[in-house]
Structure 1
């Protein structure tokens, strides 16, 4: 057995939702390096154009489409178009997501529903759209981008935690329903990742920066590069008997209560 070939994505078509930038972009880029053809969507043409340009700068030909992943009809049309123009989707990464940081008693029900719609209903809708062709083809990989909030609560993120907790259970249920068709559905739960959005919090001496470094056994923020190895593993034949699992890439945060105060 050639173990390297087990991790190859050669000849596979990978759809990564919301992958114009950030974590989704990093995962899609790694899939391209492993041999996959990359397809992504975003909510408007401006973001799709931005993504296509970013991939081109990395030497990657990516296929970008405008699609609101909360709209079932648009998603069904997207999947049909991808199958005609690129090929049947072998790998789906449900990456698109939002967060609204508002105290629960101040949050409007409409905002709560919006977060649930994007972070939980959309993965259901997109997964539902790709599974029939995966069944017909005899294999498929679905990877849901979960969160430490799939396990923990925290102030101001009631909707996000509810959605990501639900996404963890959706992951398990897809595995339970469709594992017999050689479809594996797993999740990745990123820890606190260094991105442009978190840059203001990561300045030396910032209370939140000190909190995260002190809470994380690795004593650092994660990077998008920390996520790509697990993402390739879960998309490859190397994970064919891994199903319904959430792989937390968090530097060990969920393993500890934190350091004892000195």
Structure 2
């Protein structure tokens, strides 16, 4: 049965992989994306009328509410996947107030904005599924990731809170905590910070996962699809590390 899915930040990396698997399975995707040009380029040649790319800054509550209400006015909202996020490198000393505000606005407020807007429609429709993208940084200390870790810890806490508050409304809420995933962001980071040493640093970062490699975006996409499907209908209030053994085997 076809579902209506809202995916934030679905234009690249993990979000694009999630978008593709839902389209392949026959579902309709409303992609909320700040970089619509990049999203359209990523899905160029996709003659799939089930994909709608909508310009959206998830940190802007008024914009998010207007868009989600507009979608709900035309169809049901069955699934919400909060994938949009930004990274930041730094300790508490090197993280400026502006840095903190920027990361918080997308990674925390953006997730809150989308859930806040979608929940009333899901309740009205008798249920739904919410999936949040957390991180291994939600669970363990990672050097130089102060602001990012703070926001992903908040995403994990929001997941548990929403699952608890709305289980009686037929709304399931879970999260995924990936370790390093090989995306264009990783390649860009290496090119910018380690010119000429990209392969060496890529191998080094890959080996921080005990399994010896980074995850593929498609692997995250497949887990996301399962958690949003009826096969996971008994699953709520749970975080799924997709980490190559990082959390438990790196001690």
> TM-score normalized by structure 1?
0.87
Q: 1:59 offset after TM fit, Å?
A: 4.1
Counterpart position of 1:74:
63
**Shift, 1:83, TM fit:** 2.2
Match of 1:37 in 2: 28
1:210 aligns to 2:210 (yes or no) = no
User: Is the CA contact (8 Å cut-off) linking 2:14 and 2:218 kept in structure 1?
Assistant: no
- Report the aligned-residue RMSD: 1.8
Partner residue of 1:160? 148
**Alpha carbons 1:52, 1:63 under 8 Å: kept:** no
Deviation at 1:34, TM superposition (A): 1.6
2:21 counterpart of 1:21: no
In the alignment, structure 1 residue 112 sits paired with structure 2 residue 100:
yes
Deviation at 1:197, TM superposition (A): 2.2
Inter-partner Cα distance in structure 1 for 2:97 and 2:216: 33
TM norm structure 2 = 0.90
Deviation at 1:159, TM superposition (A): 0.7
The 5 Å alignment of 1:5-154 reads: 10-43=1-34, 47-61=35-49, 62-85=51-74, 87-154=75-142
Distance 2:119 2:250 in 1: 39
Secondary structure of 2:200's counterpart equals coil
Aligned with residue 220 of structure 1, among 208, 213, 216? 213
CA distance in 1, matches of 2:38, 2:182: 21
Separation of aligned partners in 2, 1:211 and 1:119? 23
Asked whether 1:231 is paired with 2:194, we answer no
Distance apart, 1:41 and its partner CA: 1.4
Alignment match, 1:5: none
Match of 1:246 among 210, 229, 239: 239
Deviates more, 1:162-171 or 1:109-118: 109-118
Q: Which whole-Å deviations, capped at 9, do the CAs of 1:95-152 have from their partners, x for residues lacking one?
A: 1111121232122122112211210111111001101111111120100000010111
Equivalents in 1 of 2:158, 2:44: separation in Å? 34
Q: How many aligned positions are there? A: 243
1:205-249 per-residue CA deviation (whole Å, 9 max, x = no partner) reads 33x632531x32321111111112211111111111111111111
Larger displacement relative to structure 2 (100-109 or 73-82): 100-109
Q: Following TM superposition, by how much is the alpha carbon of 1:84 offset from its aligned partner in structure 2, in angstroms?
A: 3.2
Check if 1:194 corresponds to 2:182: yes
Give, in whole Å, the separation in 2 of the partners of 1:124 and 1:165.
13
Contact 1:42 1:68 in 2 (8 A): yes
